[in-house]
Structure 1
Amino acid sequence: MSQSYAVELYFDPALENQVLKAWNVLARRQISTQLIEIESRPHLTLFWSDFVDVAKLENVLRVIGSKQEPLPLSFSSIGSLPNDNNVLFLGPTPSASLLQFHSQLCDAMKKEGVEVGEEYRPDKWIPHCLVAQEVPKARMAEAFTVLRDLKLPVSGYAMEISLVEYQPVRELFSLTLGTHYLSEA
């Protein structure tokens, strides 16, 4: 199986717990357990690709992540993507700071020769935090109802930017936003 790579934002512990609550409720009802099974962490995906120069991308994340303070997030909607994976997500209010950070990341990646796929370009990107994958079609309405009981909005901060390899999930690089690295003497 080929590898895929994602750039993800991780949340502060309280917000992460709110998302995990959604994963666990859906798992208990046997609607969707996949995210738990693959040992993913609640996240917002900023970029995804099958072909990546890991060293280049890590460098981009180090530079852009060190300049960015933690980003306020407020998950205010529930959505589904129009692909056939029957995905459900929590959608953050698309704040200027989030959209600007994503746009700066894309610009920085392009400068390094990292190809940004169509769905992750700033004018096409749908910010989302997955809460369920491969939900049986017949249970989508039930899953939406379960998620509505979460009492949205849930708010917090994106605290970390990470480069993650998929299947299996493996964090290759992670940086707390706003952490300034000193060059090693």
Structure 2
Amino acid sequence: MSQGYAIELYFDPALENQVLKAWNVLARRQISTQLIEIESRPHITLFSSPIIEPAKLESIIKSSASKQEPLPLSFSTIGSFCNDNNALFLAPTPSVSLLQFQSMLCEAIKKEGIDLAEEYRAENWIPYCAVAQEVPKTRMAEAFCVLRELKLPVSGYAMDIGLVEYSPVREQFSFALGNSVEA
């Protein structure tokens, strides 16, 4: 299991519950339980690194959160990456505000001398919310069918941003968007 840190964007309670519903249905059907087991929370990853000093990121994240109002999100697509992880995700309809926020955050991280992995550079970043990992290949079609029952799009807002250590997931700190007070 991999180790590292990630900056995650969290949803309003109603949107979070829609994603948790998908996780729970997949778990009940014994298709995928990993996200529940590692104690993750529904999110979009904005940045991740295997090695980082959390204290270096706290002021960047707090400042970014205070400058950004909650972001509207509409998950309209079910997808899967072509890798051995057999992960399924919900993808939001990309919005200028979401893409600009991630880009601004990563620029601030780069200014601190922290390297960005290719996948988090603005021109490569793909926003998504994981709903299943390590799905057996023989059950991928069934997992897609389960997710199609979600009646997409599911919409809501990104309300908070936080830093987590993984795995298992342990939140280091989080801040509400549009507010300089800790969430």
After TM superposition, the score normalised by the length of structure 1 is 0.95
1:128 aligned residue? 128
Separation in structure 2 between the aligned mates of residue 129 and residue 2 of structure 1, nearest angstrom: 18
Match of 1:65 in 2: 65
Give the paired residue count.
Answer: 181
Superposed CA offset, 1:104-134 (max 9, x none)? 0111101111111011111111100000000
1:1-185 correspondence runs (5 A): 3-180=3-180
User: Contact 2:40/2:168 (CA < 8 Å) preserved in 1?
Assistant: no
Which whole-Å CA distance do the structure 1 matches of 2:54 and 2:162 have between them?
Answer: 12
8 Å Cα contact 2:76-2:93 kept in structure 1: yes
Contact 2:71-2:97 at 8 Å conserved across structures: yes
Q: What SS is found at the alignment partner of 2:76?
A: strand
> Kindly, what percent of the aligned residue pairs are identical?
74
Distance 1:150 1:48 in 2: 28
**Two-structure CA RMSD over aligned residues (Å):** 1.1
State the one-letter code of the partner of 1:82. Answer: C
Paired with 1:159 and 1:171, the residues of 2 have a C-alpha distance of 16
Residues in 1 aligned to 2:165 and 2:99: alpha-carbon distance in whole angstroms = 24
Give the distance between the partners of 2:169 and 2:156, measured in 1 at CA.
Answer: 24
Question: 4+ runs of 1 displaced by more than 2 Å?
Answer: none
**Structure 2: tracts of 5 or more residues without a match:** none
On the 8 A contact 1:57/1:114 being kept in 2, the answer is no
Residue 86 of structure 2 aligns to which amino acid in structure 1? N
